[in-house]
C-alpha cells in the first residue's frame, strides 16, 4: 500500500473560500461557545444601555462616601433633620445632622450649605442620602443572595444530574414542591418567622430570599450537566479510569456552568426588587436604614396627599426602576444569545 | 387520558406532603407560647397555664407526632370536639386580628376572587394580542415597541407602579380611589337592602340590579386591575411572541401558505391556535397566582383581600396567621395546578401520550 501523499499545488482558491478566522486570546481562554455568549452580549444597543446603567450604579456605590459624606459612626443610618412626621419638600433647609460639604456640592447646586436636595421622607430622613447609601445596600443584598442561591443550585443540580435515577427523581420533586409555593408570600413568612429570632436587620430577608430562590439554578445546571455528560471527552475520561467525583468537578461542571453563572449574575436586579418589596411590606431593616424599599414604604402613610408629597415616591422609585432595568436589559440580550435556536448564528 | 389523569392525581399527596412539611418546618422557629395560637385564642397568662397548654396539645412531643396533630387536630377529651387541624380548615387564631384565621379568609376571599375575575380579561386579551402582533411583524416597529414595553414592565416593581398611578389618578385627579367601596355603598350593604347572593360585590350589584353600585366597585378596582395587568403583560407578550415565532416556522404553516391561503387565515386559523397551547399553562398559573391573593397590589391599594391580610399579619410578626394563609394558598395552588395540567392534557394530545 502506498502512503497517500499530501495534496500539493496551489490552494489559494480554497483558502479564499474558507478564510481562516483569527482566534484571539480571550476566545481561546473562554472557549468558542462562551466567547459567542460574551460577544453577543456586547453587540445589541439595549444591553449596552444596560451595562452603562449598571456601571453608573457601581460608581455611585463605590463613591458613596464622597457623594454623601456619612454623619456619625454608621454610614448606613440616614441622618435625621428633626423628628417631625410631615415630609419636607425638595430644596428645603437642612438644619440638624448635616454631612460635610463634598467638593462637588457647590459646583453642582450653587449653594453654600446643605439642603435636602430631594426632600425628606416621613421622620425627616434625607431622601438623597438614603438613595446614595441604599445603592450599597442593594449591591450587598443582591450579591449575597445571588451567590448563595447559585451555590445551592449548583450543588443540588449537580447531585441530581450526576447520580440520576431515584436521587434525581426525589430532588426534582422537592424542586417542584418549592416551585409550587408562592414566592413572595413564602419569603414574607420566612422573614417574619426569622425577625424575632435574629432581630430587625437585613439578614432575615436575605435568608428568606435565599430559601425560596435557588430552584431555578438547580434546574438549569441539571439540564446542562445532562447534556455535557454525553460528550465524548467525558466518555474518554471514564475509559481512562478517572474517579466519578473528579469527572464531575474537573470535566463536566466547568463545561456546563457558564450559562448558569451569567444568568445568576444578572438576577441581581430581580433579587433587589424582591428585597425592596419585602421592605415595602414592612419586613426588613430597622427604621432609618439606607434601603430603597424602606424609603418607599414611608409613602404608604401619605396616600391621600401624594399630589403634594410626590417626591417621596418618584425619586426612590425611579432609582429602583433604573437599577432593575439595567440588569434586565442585559438579561434580555442574554436570553437571546442563550436560546438554542440562535446557536450557530454569530 | 385516564392514565395521565391518574398519574397527575398520584402527585397530589406528594405535593401536599411537601408543602405542609415546609410550612410546618417554619412553625418550628416559634416558641410554644406563639404556637399555642394554633389551638387557643388568648395568650397564656402564667407559667402554669403554659405548661397546661403544652401538655394538652402535645407541644413537647416528637416532631412527627406534632406534625400529625397539626394536620388533623386534637380531640378534646372532655367535650369530644376537634381542636386545630389545618386539613379541616382550622388554621388557629389570629391574635393581632382577634378572630380565627379561617374567618378572615372567609370574609376576604370573595374580595380577592372579585378582583381576580376582572383582572383576568385585560391581562390575557391584551398580553396575547400584543405578543401575536409582535411575532407576526417580527423586528417591525410593533415588535420593538412590545419589547420596550415588556422590559419596562418587568423592571417596574409592582408597588412603585401602583404608587405612581395613585399619584396620577387619585391624588391629582381624584378619579379612582383606593379601597373597595365608597361609604354610601357600605351603608347600603349594612342597611340590609342589598342582598349578598355571592359576596362578590360586582356580581351582587348586577344581581340586585344596582348599576351604580357596580360602577362604584369598578371605580375602586380599576387601578389594581391596571397594575396587575401591566405587571403580567410583560411575561405574556414575551412568551406569546416566542411561542408564535416557533409555530410560524413549522412545516404546516409553510404548507398552508403554499396552498395559497390568505395570510390572515394562516395566522388566525393555523398558527395561533397551536401557539396558544404553550400559553395555556402560563395563563393557568397566572390566574392561580391571582387567586392566592396578590400581596403587594392589595396592600398598595388598600384592597381588603387575603393578600393584604397576609401582609398585615406578617408586618405585625403574627406568624401563625401568615402560615395559615400559606396553607390555604398551598391547597388552592395544588388543586388549581391539577386542573390546569388536566386541561392541558385535553388541549394538547402530545402531553397525554408522552
At residue A330, does pLDDT exceed 80?
Answer: yes
Return the number of other C-beta atoms located less than 10 Å from residue B341's C-beta.
Answer: 18
Dist CA A270 CA A323 (whole Å)? 10
Averaged pLDDT, A89-99: 79
The pLDDT value given to residue B68: 85
Averaged pLDDT, A287-310: 84
Dist CA A336 CA A342 (whole Å)? 7
Stronger pLDDT, B23 or A1, i.e. the higher one: B23
Dist CA B217 CA B117 (whole Å)? 13
Work out the percent of chain A whose per-residue pLDDT is above 70.
92
The pLDDT value given to residue A2: 52
The pLDDT value given to residue B339: 84
Judging contacts by C-beta atoms under 8 Å, the chain B residues touching residue A329 are: 151
Smallest Cα distance from A91 to chain B, Å = 21
Grade residue A52 by pLDDT with cuts at 50, 70 and 90.
very high
The pLDDT value given to residue A145: 95
Phi, psi values for residue A102, rounded to 5°: -75, 165
Size of interface A-B (CB pairs under 8 A): 148
The pLDDT value given to residue A332: 79
Averaged pLDDT, B106-116: 89
Please name the residue of chain A whose CA is at the shortest distance from the CA of residue B325: A185
Q: Which three cell numbers stand for residue A346?
A: 454569530
Judging contacts by C-beta atoms under 8 Å, the chain A residues touching residue B166 are: 303, 306
Judging contacts by C-beta atoms under 8 Å, the chain B residues touching residue A310 are: 167, 171
Judging contacts by C-beta atoms under 8 Å, the chain A residues touching residue B18 are: 173-174, 176-177, 180
The pLDDT value given to residue B184: 81
CB within 8 Å: A194 and B29: yes
Averaged pLDDT, A101-122: 79
Grade residue A1 by pLDDT with cuts at 50, 70 and 90.
very low
pLDDT in tens, B298-341: 998 989 988 888 888 888 888 888 888 888 888 888 888 888 88
pLDDT in tens, B231-268: 888 888 888 888 888 888 888 888 888 888 888 888 88
Phi, psi values for residue A243, rounded to 5°: -60, 145
Work out the percent of chain B whose per-residue pLDDT is above 70.
95
Stronger pLDDT, A2 or A139, i.e. the higher one: A139
Q: Give the DSSP per-residue string, A98-160.
A: PPP--HHHHHHH--SS-EETT-EETTTEEHHHHHHHHHHHHHHHHHHHHHHHHHHHHHHHHHH
Say which residue the cell 438547580 belongs to: A218
The pLDDT value given to residue A301: 81
pLDDT in tens, B33-77: 777 777 777 777 777 777 777 777 777 777 888 888 888 877 776
Grade residue A339 by pLDDT with cuts at 50, 70 and 90.
low
Q: Are A236 and A252 a contacting pair, CB within 8 Å? A: no
CA A83 to chain centre: 35
Grade residue A154 by pLDDT with cuts at 50, 70 and 90.
very high
CB within 8 Å: B171 and A307: yes
The pLDDT value given to residue A346: 35
The pLDDT value given to residue B354: 57
Dist CA B274 CA A65 (whole Å)? 56
| Cα atoms found within 13 Å of the Cα of residue A101, Cβ hemisphere only | 13
Q: What is the DSSP letter of B177?
A: -
For chain A, the average pLDDT equals: 83
pTM for the full predicted model: 0.85
Averaged pLDDT, A234-250: 87
Residue B235 in contact with partner chain A when CB distance is under 8 A:
no
Please name the residue of chain B whose CA is at the shortest distance from the CA of residue A198: B29
Smallest Cα distance from B208 to chain A, Å = 32
Grade residue A82 by pLDDT with cuts at 50, 70 and 90.
confident
Judging contacts by C-beta atoms under 8 Å, the chain A residues touching residue B30 are: 193
At residue A138, does pLDDT exceed 90?
Answer: yes
Grade residue A226 by pLDDT with cuts at 50, 70 and 90.
confident
Grade residue A6 by pLDDT with cuts at 50, 70 and 90.
low
Q: Collapse the DSSP code of A80 into the 3-class scheme (helix H, G, I; strand E, B; otherwise coil) and give the result.
A: strand
Element (H, E) at B75: strand B74-75
Element (H, E) at B217: helix B211-248
Dist CA A271 CA A209 (whole Å)? 8
Dist CA B132 CA B87 (whole Å)? 43
At residue A344, does pLDDT exceed 60?
Answer: no
Judging contacts by C-beta atoms under 8 Å, the chain A residues touching residue B10 are: none
pLDDT in tens, B141-172: 888 888 888 888 888 888 899 999 988 888 87
At residue B1, does pLDDT exceed 50?
Answer: yes
Stronger pLDDT, B243 or A23, i.e. the higher one: B243
CA end-to-end distance (rounded Å), chain A: 44
Dist CA B190 CA B149 (whole Å)? 44
Interface test with A, best of B160, B294, B297 (most A CBs within 10 A): B160
Averaged pLDDT, A205-220: 92
Of the candidate ranges A60-64, A157-161, A264-268, B285-289, the one whose mean pLDDT is the lowest: B285-289
Stronger pLDDT, A278 or B200, i.e. the higher one: A278
Dist CA A196 CA B320 (whole Å)? 13
The pLDDT value given to residue A345: 40
* B14, B167, B299: residue with CB nearest A173: B14
CB within 8 Å: A321 and B155: yes
Work out the percent of chain A whose per-residue pLDDT is above 90.
25
Residues 257-296 of B with CB under 8 A from A: 289, 292-293, 295-296
Judging contacts by C-beta atoms under 8 Å, the chain A residues touching residue B158 are: 277
Grade residue A11 by pLDDT with cuts at 50, 70 and 90.
low
The pLDDT value given to residue A20: 67
Q: Which three cell numbers stand for residue A148?
A: 448563595
Interface test with B, best of A134, A166, A185, A297 (most B CBs within 10 A): A185
Judging contacts by C-beta atoms under 8 Å, the chain A residues touching residue B151 are: 46, 325, 328-329, 332
At residue A165, does pLDDT exceed 90?
Answer: no
pLDDT in tens, B195-215: 777 888 888 888 888 888 888
The pLDDT value given to residue A321: 93
Interface test with B, best of A192, A300, A333 (most B CBs within 10 A): A192
Q: Are B265 and A155 a contacting pair, CB within 8 Å? A: no
Averaged pLDDT, B184-194: 79
Amino acid at each position: 500500500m502506498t502512503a497517500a501523499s499530501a495534496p500539493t499545488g496551489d490552494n489559494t482558491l480554497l483558502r479564499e473560500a474558507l478564510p481562516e478566522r483569527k482566534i484571539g486570546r480571550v476566545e481561546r481562554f473562554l472557549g468558542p461557545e462562551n466567547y459567542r455568549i460574551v460577544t453577543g452580549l456586547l453587540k445589541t444597543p439595549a444591553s449596552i444601555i444596560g451595562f452603562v446603567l449598571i456601571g453608573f450604579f457601581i460608581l455611585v456605590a463605590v463613591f458613596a462616601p464622597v457623594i454623601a459624606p456619612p454623619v456619625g459612626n454608621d454610614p448606613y443610618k440616614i441622618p435625621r433633620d428633626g423628628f417631625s412626621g410631615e415630609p419636607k419638600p425638595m430644596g428645603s433647609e437642612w438644619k440638624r445632622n448635616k454631612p460635610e460639604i463634598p467638593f462637588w456640592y457647590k459646583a453642582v447646586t450653587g449653594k453654600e450649605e446643605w439642603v435636602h436636595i430631594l426632600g425628606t421622607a416621613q421622620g425627616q430622613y434625607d431622601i438623597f442620602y438614603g438613595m446614595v447609601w441604599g445603592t450599597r445596600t442593594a449591591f450587598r443584598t443582591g450579591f449575597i443572595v445571588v451567590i448563595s442561591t447559585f451555590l445551592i443550585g449548583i450543588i443540588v443540580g449537580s447531585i441530581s444530574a450526576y447520580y440520576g435515577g431515584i436521587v434525581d427523581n426525589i430532588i426534582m420533586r422537592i424542586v417542584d414542591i418549592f416551585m409550587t409555593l408562592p414566592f413572595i408570600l413564602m419569603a414574607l413568612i420566612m422573614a417574619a418567622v426569622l425577625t424575632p429570632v435574629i432581630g430587625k436587620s437585613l439578614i432575615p430577608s436575605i435568608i428568606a430570599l435565599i430559601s425560596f430562590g435557588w430552584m431555578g439554578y438547580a434546574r438549569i445546571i441539571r439540564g446542562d450537566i445532562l447534556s455535557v455528560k454525553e460528550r465524548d471527552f467525558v466518555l474518554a475520561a471514564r475509559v481512562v479510569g478517572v474517579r466519578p467525583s473528579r469527572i464531575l468537578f474537573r470535566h463536566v461542571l466547568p463545561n456546563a456552568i457558564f450559562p448558569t453563572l451569567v444568568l445568576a449574575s444578572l438576577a441581581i436586579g430581580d433579587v433587589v426588587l424582591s428585597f425592596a418589596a419585602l421592605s415595602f411590606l414592612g419586613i426588613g431593616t430597622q427604621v432609618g436604614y439606607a434601603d430603597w424599599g424602606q424609603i418607599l414604604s414611608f409613602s404608604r402613610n401619605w396616600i391621600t396627599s401624594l399630589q403634594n408629597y410626590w417626591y417621596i415616591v418618584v425619586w426612590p422609585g425611579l432609582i429602583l426602576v433604573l437599577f432593575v432595568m439595567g440588569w434586565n436589559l442585559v438579561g434580555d440580550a442574554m436570553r437571546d444569545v442563550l436560546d438554542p435556536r440562535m446557536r450557530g448564528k454569530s | 387520558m385516564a392514565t395521565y389523569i391518574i398519574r397527575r392525581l398520584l402527585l397530589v399527596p406528594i405535593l401536599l406532603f411537601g408543602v405542609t412539611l415546609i410550612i410546618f418546618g417554619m412553625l418550628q422557629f416559634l416558641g410554644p407560647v406563639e404556637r399555642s395560637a394554633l389551638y387557643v385564642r388568648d395568650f397564656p397568662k402564667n407559667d402554669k397555664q403554659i405548661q397546661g397548654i403544652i401538655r394538652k396539645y402535645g407541644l413537647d412531643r416528637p416532631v412527627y407526632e406534632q406534625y400529625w396533630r397539626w394536620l388533623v387536630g386534637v380531640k378534646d377529651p372532655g367535650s369530644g370536639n376537634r381542636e386545630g387541624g389545618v386539613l379541616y380548615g382550622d388554621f388557629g387564631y389570629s391574635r393581632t386580628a382577634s378572630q380565627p384565621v379561617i374567618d378572615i379568609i372567609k370574609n376576604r376571599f370573595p374580595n380577592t376572587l372579585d378582583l381576580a375575575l376582572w383582572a383576568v380579561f385585560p391581562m390575557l386579551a391584551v398580553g396575547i394580542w400584543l405578543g401575536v402582533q409582535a411575532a407576526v411583524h417580527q423586528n417591525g416597529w410593533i415588535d420593538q415597541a412590545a419589547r420596550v414595553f415588556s422590559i419596562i414592565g418587568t423592571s417596574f416593581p409592582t408597588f412603585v407602579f401602583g404608587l405612581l398611578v395613585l399619584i396620577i389618578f387619585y391624588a391629582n385627579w381624584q378619579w379612582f380611589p383606593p379601597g373597595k367601596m365608597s361609604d354610601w355603598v357600605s351603608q347600603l350593604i349594612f342597611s340590609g337592602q342589598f342582598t349578598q347572593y355571592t359576596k362578590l360585590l360586582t356580581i351582587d350589584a348586577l344581581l340586585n340590579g344596582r348599576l351604580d353600585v357596580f360602577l362604584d366597585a369598578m371605580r375602586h378596582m380599576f387601578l389594581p386591575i391596571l397594575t396587575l395587568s401591566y405587571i403580567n403583560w410583560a411575561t405574556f407578550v414575551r412568551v406569546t411572541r416566542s411561542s408564535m415565532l416557533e409555530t410560524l416556522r413549522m412545516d404546516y404553516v409553510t404548507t398552508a401558505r403554499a396552498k395559497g391561503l390568505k395570510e390572515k387565515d394562516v395566522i388566525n386559523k393555523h398558527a395561533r391556535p397551536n401557539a396558544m397551547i404553550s400559553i395555556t399553562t402560563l395563563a393557568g398559573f397566572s390566574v392561580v397566582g391571582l387567586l392566592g391573593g396578590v400581596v403587594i397590589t392589595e396592600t398598595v391599594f388598600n384592597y381588603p383581600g387575603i393578600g393584604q391580610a397576609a401582609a398585615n399579619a406578617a408586618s405585625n410578626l403574627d406568624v401563625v396567621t401568615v402560615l395559615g394563609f400559606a396553607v390555604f394558598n398551598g391547597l388552592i395552588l395544588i388543586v388549581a395546578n391539577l386542573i390546569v395540567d388536566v386541561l392541558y392534557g385535553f388541549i394538547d394530545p402530545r402531553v397525554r401520550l408522552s
